[in-house]
């Protein structure tokens, strides 16, 4: 893309990042795309699909610190952003952070079906402590 006469846009870069997250051997290319995204200014937009893809990319590959950096850099987080963070935390078995993130999200947005399904996955995976004294 860089050497062609076509300019990469947010949609194409987001798609490339999604593909990189599914293939371990494309991590370094994904990092290259991330740096291109920053240079082009797509990380912090109102709809933030690019940043959401970056969150998923780093979570899929287990780079939790990078996820946190991307998340904190987004000034206009949307429900998809919060859901991506919550899903990544669930997938990485960070239950305490899931619950904190969920509470913080609820102060700004109403959970949608995707949020609730993701939160319920904590119980499905045995990640929540059993309730005592039923």
Residues 32 and 95 placed together within one structural domain of the fold: no
Last residue of a domain, one of 52, 76, 100: 76
- The pLDDT of residue 134 is 39
The total domain count for the chain is 2
Tell me the pLDDT tens digit for each residue of 34-58.
Answer: 787 777 776 655 457 788 888 988 8
Nearest alpha carbon to residue 35 among 74, 70, 80? 70
83 and 125 assigned to the same domain: yes
Residues 59 and 10 in one domain: yes
Residue 22 and residue 53 in one domain:
yes
Structural domain of 131: 77-134
pLDDT in tens, 47-100: 577 888 889 888 988 888 988 988 988 888 899 999 999 999 988 888 888 889
Same domain for 129 and 63:
no
Report pLDDT digits (tens) over 108-124.
999 999 999 988 887 76
The fraction of the chain above a pLDDT of 90, given in percent, is 19
* pTM to 2 decimal places: 0.76
Q: Examine the fold and report which residue of 59, 76, 93 is the final residue of a domain before the chain moves on.
A: 76
Question: Is there a single domain that holds both residue 51 and residue 61?
Answer: yes
Check whether residue 72 and residue 85 sit in a common domain.
no
CA distance 81 to 87: 10
Distance CA 67, CA 55 (A): 5
């Amino acid at each position: 893309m860089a050497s062609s006469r076509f300019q990469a846009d947010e949609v194409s870069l987001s798609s490339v990042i999604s593909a990189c997250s599914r293939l371990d051997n494309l991590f370094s290319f994904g990092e290259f795309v991330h740096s291109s995204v920053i240079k082009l200014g797509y990380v912090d937009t109102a709809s933030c699909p690019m940043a959401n893809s970056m969150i998923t990319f780093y979570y899929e590959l287990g780079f939790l610190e990078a996820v946190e950096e991307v998340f904190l850099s987004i000034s206009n987080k949307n429900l998809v952003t919060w859901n991506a963070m919550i899903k990544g935390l669930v997938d990485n078995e960070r239950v305490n952070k899931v619950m904190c993130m969920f509470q913080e999200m609820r102060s700004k947005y109403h959970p949608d079906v995707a949020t609730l399904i993701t939160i319920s996955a904590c119980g499905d995976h045995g990640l929540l402590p059993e309730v005592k004294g039923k």
